[in-house]
Structures are given as C-alpha cells and as structure tokens.
Structure 1
Amino acid sequence: MDLHQHPEPSGAETRTAACLADALQAEGYTVTRGIGGHGVVGVLTNGEGPRVYLRAELDALPVRERTGLPYAADGPHMHACGHDLHIAAALGAATLLARARPQWRGSVVVVGQPAEEILTGARAMLADGLYDRFGRPDAVLAQHTAPLLGGMVAHGHGQPVLAGSVSLDVTLHGRGGHAGAPQLTVDPVLAAAAVVMRLQGIVARESAPAEQTTVTVGSLHAGTHSNVVPESAALGITVRALTPAALDRAVAAVERIVGAEATASGCPREPEITMVSRSPVTLPDEKLTAAIRDAHREALGAERVGAWPPSMATEDFGLYGDAGREIHGCPGVPLGYWMVGVVGPRQWAATASAGGTAERFAALPANHSPEFAPHLPLALPSAATAMTVATLTALGARR
C-alpha cells in the first residue's frame, strides 16, 4: 500500500528503489543500488546450484488515480499497471526463499528495474553490466498483472505472450505564415493529417490478414493560433507486431509514408524521424514455461491456471533473453513469464452480463486506466506464491 500511495515516474524511482533495497537487505540479501539508473539488485547465495533472476518493475505512469481507494495516490502519477504489486510479490517470494533455505540450493537474484514504462530500463541495467557483475542467469522470471479473476495465473503456449514495439517521434517541416495567404505557406498540419490517414493502410493493405500488427498515432501537436500556419507538426507513432520481421516491415512502411507525404506536400525540409524506444517480442522458453505451469497447477489448483493468447501489449523483458544478447553477451538465457489475475470476485461477477470474453474484459478497468485497482486479498498472495513456486522450479527444488 505504501508503494501504491507513493508512485514515482520512469527515471525518478528513488524512494521506490530504496524501499525495495532496504527490505531485501533486511532479509539477508547482498544489495547493490544504482544499476542502470535507479535499478536495484539483491543477491542471496545458498550453496552451489542454478542462478535464477526475479525481475520486478519500479516505475509508475503519468495517470491521475480515480480508484477511490483509501491508499490511492494523490498526485499526477499512479501505479496503473500494477508494478507496485509486482514489487510486493517479488519481495514476498524473496522473503519466503530467504526463510526456507534448507529447501533449495543456488542463487536468487532479485532485480528491481526502473523505466519499464518507457522501455529503457532493461537495456540500461544490462548495459551497466548486470550479468557480468551478478552472474549469468540460468533463468529469468517475471509476471504481470492482467484483467483476470484474482487468484488465477495464465501462461502462453509456444507463442509470443506480448508484442514487440517501436516508438517513433516524427517532425514534419512546413513554411509558416498567415492563414489569409495560404498560397505562401506549406502547411505541415495538412501533411500530418495525410500521414495519419495513409498510415492506416499499413495494417489494412500491407500486413497479411493473419499477422497481428498495429500502427497508432498517439499524439499530434502543431501550431499556437487558429489563424497562423505553423512551421512544423509533430507526431508520436507506435508500431507493434508479434514477429520481428512484421515489426521491421511496418516501421519501414511508416518511414516511407512519412517521407512520401512530406514530398507530396512540398515540405521545404526532409522530415525528422527518431526512434524513441524499441522492445522485443516477449517469447518465454517453452520447456521452462511447461515446468512452471505444472508447478502452478500443483500449488494453486488446475482450475486457477489458464491459457494466455498473444497480446499486443509490450514491454522490455525480452531483452533479458536472446533478444538482448548483443547487450549482455549471454545467448540462450531462458525466460519465464506469466500473467496474474487481479480482479475481485464482485467486480468479476458484475461483468458476467457483458457478453463474450472480449466484452467482459472491456467492461473491466484495464491496465493504464485511472480506475485500475488490483484486489489485494486475492491478487497479492497468489502472485507471491506464483513467483515463489516458479523460482523453486527454476532452481530445481521441485521435482
């Protein structure tokens, strides 16, 4: 509750990192702070054996909370994606493991990662020598909140769990002037509008029907007054896909369309296109996933373990595996990743009349919503149990 009440945005997770670091230290972990920014690493070695990383994110979102909770955040930021729950669950697992050392051998490495919401934190920690300094992992584990009934977990089956993404900042340059003499100007707003409309054809006409791809213009800014043609227009564009090849093709199409529309509009300068972030597809290791799924069924009950279809949400966790091997130099690191339900039983029952599964999910406050509020009595214990059981499985302690 304390972490939820005091959220910190990406790159400013000072207090959150300190809370995690202090709690790990109190349980006997050797803690290092300031990895790749505000990253925290806690290591507990318990004899010879596998080295398993547990990763949780530290940052919150620029969303003003509207949950009405007694411990709601009061300010411009909110844990609207459940990162505070991830931290609490990882800390719960770390505590249980520290107090049950006779049951396992090896090393547990807890990673508190900053800046996940802007998709830069994993890269920064790895570039800061995470694996060189704390050892090559035999497995890296993470979980994420999802609009499922609290107490449930869900796994992917041999396919991506989350999409890869590329975020682009685009600036179109025009020639400003008076709205009463448009012939003397080059209107970047018109060019930007043409780009927005043309981009819709990438998914409709340049991607195979079976390919899951999205292209989103999330922001468009231009001008300061209604009777002034501005000098430039800026767009924020995000592309997502479930394969690296599809992602690359869609990004190339965005760049081609931006350039072509700038030329068609007679823009006096080439457009500026900057890649702000890139995240890989999240594809968990099949063998590790099968072992963790079986362990979850045993610990939680088979009825509480479901399947998770590929989602167009994205994050940077894939960089801890093969997608980030150029950064960390450790090919073949298996990843374990699953979803944990956070919806309370009353809220879940209230959506029963919403129709099918898609309609039911649409009726629930989703991740990034100002009304997103995990049901702690169900969600936190099951998430802590799921992470503990998964860690013991990766350590080879469950047979």
Structure 2
Amino acid sequence: MRSCLLIVGGMLFAAVPAMAQAPADLSSSVQAQLPELTETYKHLHRNPELSHHEEQTSAYLAGELRKLGYMVTEHVGNYEDGAHAYGIVAVLENGAGPRLLIRTDMDALPVEEKTGLDYASTVKTTNAQGQNVGVMHACGHDIHMTVLLGTAREMAARKSKWHGTLMLIGQPSEETIDGAKAMMEDRLYERFGKPDYVLAEHDTNEFAAGTIAVKAGPLLAGATSVNVVIRGVGSHGSAPQAGKDPIVLSAEFILAAQTIVSRQMDPQIPAVVTVGTIHGGTKNNIIPEEVTMGLSLRSFSDEVRAKMVSELDREAKGLAEGYGIPADRMPTVKVFENTPATINDPGLNAKIRASGEAALGKENVFDARPVMGSEDVGQFSQGGTIPAVMFWLGAADSQKLAESKKSGVSLPMQHSPLFAPVYEPTIRTGVTAVTAMALDILR
C-alpha cells in the first residue's frame, strides 16, 4: 500500500490512519489496571490542593512513578516571587530515538464540591486573600494524573515496543497559568533534555466517556490577565461635587471596555474582554478614593491581546481626563498573567488521530472545535517550535449528554461544583489513547 509522508520537526510521520496499529493486548491490559486506577483517582479527588500548594499531590505522583522505574526529580520550577514550585519530571530512557513529553496538571480549584459523591472532597483551606474556601478537582486534573500513571505503567511494561525517551511532567499551577512558565524558568529543557514532541489531554463533558476529540490548529485561546485601578477623589456621599467618584467612572469604563472587541477589533478574529472582579468603597455614604478591577482578555493571537491591553489603557485614561481626574491620579492598567494560545501541530495531530482511531475505533474519534478557554500547556512548545498537541478526553455519561443536547440544558462543566466525570470509562479511554499515541510516536 502506498502512503503519504509528512515531515514534521525533522521526523517522518505516516499520514494514513490505517497505518497506525494499537497493540492487541492494550485494551485488556488497561482494563486490568482499572481497579487500582480507580482507587488512585478517588484518592486524588478526595485530597485536592490549590495552585502553588500541591505538596502532597506531587509527592504522591512522584512516589508512584518511582515504583514504575522512572527517574523522578521533584520541586522543579521557580515562580516570579522566588518561591519554588512542586513540579515533577519523570524520565524513562529506552535507547536511541525521539524524546516525547507527556504532561499532566496537578492543582485543584477554590470550589466547594456539591456532587454528593461518596468520594467527594471535603477539604477546606485559606486562600491567598485570607478567605476560607472549599477545594475541589473541578477541572478534572485528578483524571489527568490518573491517566498519566496508567500510561506510565503501560509504557514501562512495553519497552520492547518503542525506543527513545519518555519524559512525564507533573505540572503545578495550571489554574493560575504560571506553572508551566515556572518549570521552563527552572531550565526544564537544559536539565532534562528538549523534547521532540509534546502531548497532553484534557477531559470535558462536551463529549461522551469512551470518546476523544482532536483538532489541528488553534484549540484554546491565549489569555492575558489585567489589573485596572481607577482613582478618584474621596468625598462624602452627600456632596459628590467635592470629589471625583471612581465608582461612576469605573461603570463607564466597564461599558467602554466592551466596545473594544465589538468596535475596534476585526470581527473575523475571535476575542473576549471579561471584567471578572471589581472592588471599591467601604460604606454606602462615602465616595472612595479608588476602585480595582480584574480583567481577562482572550484571543488566539498574541498581537490582538496586546492591542486590547493598549486600548484598555487608552479608554481608562481618556475617560479619566474627561472626568477631570487630577494628573497624579490617572488610572493604571497592568498585565500580571499571560499565556499563549494552544495551537495543535497539524502533522502531530494527524499522527495521534490515526493512533486514536486504531485504538478506540474510528467511530469514537471526533472533530474538536476551538474554544476561548485557556491553558498554559502551550509554554512547553516554545512558541510552536516543538510540535505539540492537546486533545479532548470525553468524560460525560452518554445518555445524559444526549438528553442535554436534546433539551438544550448543558451538563455541569469544568469549574462547576457539580462537575463529576464518569471516571471508569474516561480513565480507560484516556490510558488506552495516550499509550497508543505514545507507542506510535516512539515506535
């Protein structure tokens, strides 16, 4: 049979799906792992930890990987404030060949779980703002870690079937989009070798458990987080003419910010401006000195997000000048988080699609669509210079998903206190798919 070949990142990839072949015993081997993996998943779900605090989670993951024969290094990563991260790097070398990085995230969210499950999280902690909050794996990172461990076990048992180096990453602080950057800042590739390929998955309730969804090109938007401070002149609420009200000015700014996308950006380029937080004032009859806001900007283009920041700054200062705010009280617009878009390499995507179809059946591999949610996994591709792919791992009950589509009422999604993946088929599918993909990449 003739086949077309793609040259990607210096490697030859077969572009014909039929050429990928899943090991005959893979399904039964993964099925045999399920009881242990189920206990792993429930343990991780019951014991979530917030971003920057994944101490026990990382230690557990590192210990399990060491048992499988991987060389594990802990505490990889440096944050901008000088603190060390809880990143993990586990390496399994198996002769000459490509180096494949497979990444999982480890952190949970400040969400109080309301699923009512017998393995639900009851963890409470104090966040950085001093608030008492519940903690939950409301984004499925517990699924991701379980899939990584199952894949690690399958790959260690199949060393005769592949050659090269497997580099497993336990990444902290994905939810605050600074964990991947922290690991890269700690000379990740200089210390452990630069990968030839990067692979990751993310669970979702938009697809049924037992299926995956793949897509070449843009999958997730890049995100820029911005702090805006609107300053005024304090006064008594009964005498507004004696001050400059930053709350009224903030209200005008919020409305003006929404016109940046609708009237100043190309409508053919997706972009979102969201004002997620606003804080100002201490009492109902006091005009305060300032109002602070937290904004999230999303686009598939770094240039578009940079333009949005510039326009926010112009709008804020223009409104302040028109409102008569003193020159020494001008607003400030400051970027404090930034992560690139997740762009799937076309050649590697074709490769993993073929692997998924061979392992799961073509009827269980779907086309994904781009969404405006964000991830920091793109940091590992170094601006697209390393071929990288993230795919969606279905996690929804198929019957409930069908009913949801019929009624138009969405299932609880990531970050919801009701988010509850159907864990057994999701884990089984994830381990099967990622193992098949890894074996094909390293074959």
Q: TM-score band, normalised by the shorter chain?
A: over 0.9
Counterpart residue type for residue 424 of structure 2? P
Matches within 5 A, 1:235-314: 235-268=293-326, 269-314=329-374
8 Å contact kept, 1:188–1:267: no
Matched residue of 2:275: which SS? strand
Q: Determine the structure 1 residue equivalent to 2:411.
A: 364
Q: Match of 1:160, SS?
A: strand
Matched, 1:343 2:396: yes
Distance change in 2, residues 1:352/1:316 (3 Å) = closer
Alpha-carbon distance in 1 for matches of 2:313, 2:106: 33
Query: AA paired with 2:51?
Result: S
User: SS at 1:262's partner residue?
Assistant: helix
TM-score normalised to the size of structure 2?
0.84
Answer whether contact 1:179 1:227 (CA < 8 A) is retained. Answer: yes
Q: Pick one of 136, 139, 150 that aligns with 2:209.
A: 150
Partner residue in 1 for 2:73: 32
CA distance in 1, matches of 2:339, 2:278: 22
CA distance in 2, matches of 1:15, 1:335: 29
The amino acid of 2:208's aligned partner reads L
Unpaired segments ≥5 residues, structure 2: 1-41, 78-84, 125-133
Segments of structure 1 that go 5 or more residues without pairing to the other structure are: 324-330
SS of structure 2 residue aligned to 1:351: helix
Code of the residue aligned with 1:9 in structure 2: it is: L
Q: Does 341-350 or 54-63 show the bigger shift?
A: 341-350
| Match in the other structure for 2:92 | 44
2:172 pairs, out of 110, 114, 137, with: 114
Residue aligned with 1:234, SS: strand
The one-letter code of the counterpart of 2:370 is P
Tell whether 2:101 aligns with 1:101: no
Is residue 224 of structure 1 aligned with residue 265 of structure 2? no
Please tell me whether residue 194 in structure 1 is matched to residue 194 in structure 2.
no
For 1:122 and 1:146, locate their aligned partners in 2 and report how far apart those are by CA, in whole Å. 21
Identity %: 38
TM-score, scaled relative to structure 1:
0.93
SS state at 2:92 partner: strand
Deviation at 1:77, TM superposition (A): 1.1
Q: Counterpart of 2:113 in 1: which secondary structure?
A: coil
Report the Cα distance in structure 2 between the residues aligned to 1:170 and 1:245, rounded to whole angstroms: 20
Deviation at 1:80, TM superposition (A): 0.8
- SS of 2:342's equivalent in the other structure is coil
Q: 8 Å contact 2:277–2:295 — kept in the other structure?
A: yes
CA displacement at 1:352 relative to structure 2: 4.2
Cα deviations by residue, 1:214-250 (Å, 9 ceiling, x for unpaired): 1000011101110011111011001101222222222
Contact 1:172 1:267 in 2 (8 A): no
Give the whole-Å Cα distance in 2 for the aligned partners of 1:262 and 1:94: 56
Cα separation, 2, equivalents of 1:258 and 1:82: 38
Aligned length: 382
What amino acid is aligned across from residue 5 of structure 1 in structure 2?
Answer: R
| Counterpart position of 1:388 | 435
Shift of 1:199: 0.7
Shift of 1:350: 2.8
Match in the other structure for 1:327: none
- Which residue of the partner structure matches residue 328 of structure 1? none
Q: In the TM superposition, what is the alpha-carbon distance from 1:275 to its structure 2 partner?
A: 1.1
Supply the distance in 1 between the matched residues of 2:334 and 2:155 (Cα, whole angstroms): 44
Q: Partner amino acid for 2:187?
A: G
Provide, for residues 305-340 of structure 1, a one-character-per-residue CA deviation record: whole Å limited to 9, x for no partner: 0111111000111111132xxxxxxx7211021111
CA distance in structure 1 between the partners assigned to 2:91 and 2:316 by the alignment:
48
Equivalent of 2:182 in 124, 131, 134: 124
Whole-Å Cα distance in 1 between the matches of residues 106 and 323 of structure 2?
44
CA contact 1:54–1:110 (8 Å) conserved in 2: yes
Q: Give 1:209 deviation, angstroms.
A: 2.0
Contact 1:62 1:78 in 2 (8 A): yes
Q: Contact conserved, 1:42 with 1:110, CA < 8 A, in 2?
A: yes
Distance change in 2, residues 1:214/1:352 (3 Å): closer
Contact 1:31-1:41 at 8 Å conserved across structures: yes
1:317 aligns with 2:377: yes
Question: Are 2:194 and 1:136 aligned?
Answer: yes
- Alignment correspondent of 1:60: 108
Instruction: Report how far residue 153 of structure 1 moved.
Output: 0.6
Distance 1:294 1:250 in 2: 39
Aligned residues of 1:115 and 1:121 also touching (Cα < 8 A): yes
Report the Cα distance in structure 1 between the residues aligned to 2:405 and 2:265, rounded to whole angstroms: 35
Between the aligned partners of 1:92 and 1:41, the Cα distance in structure 2 is 16
Q: What residue is the counterpart of 1:2 in the other structure? A: 43
Q: CA deviation at 1:200?
A: 0.9
User: Which one-letter code corresponds to 1:304 in the other structure?
Assistant: N
Mapped contact 1:344–1:378 kept (Cα < 8 A): no
Q: Is the 8 A contact 1:215 1:238 kept in 2?
A: yes
RMSD, aligned CA: 1.2
The alignment partner of 2:411 has SS state of coil
Any conservation in 2 of the 1:174–1:188 contact (CA below 8 Å)? yes
Q: From 118, 127, 130, give the equivalent of 1:70.
A: 118
Amino acid at match of 1:150: A
Check whether the contact 2:312–2:333 (CA below 8 A) recurs between aligned residues.
no
CA distance in 1, matches of 2:334, 2:304: 19
Q: Which moved more, 1:200-209 or 1:297-306?
A: 200-209
Asked if the contact 1:139–1:334 (Cα under 8 Å) also holds between the matched residues in 2, the reply is: yes
Residue 30 of structure 1, CA deviation: 0.6
The DSSP-based 3-state class of the residue aligned with 2:201 is strand
Contact 2:313 2:332 survives alignment (8 Å): no
Counterpart residue identity of residue 378, structure 2? G
Does 341-350 or 374-383 show the bigger shift? 341-350
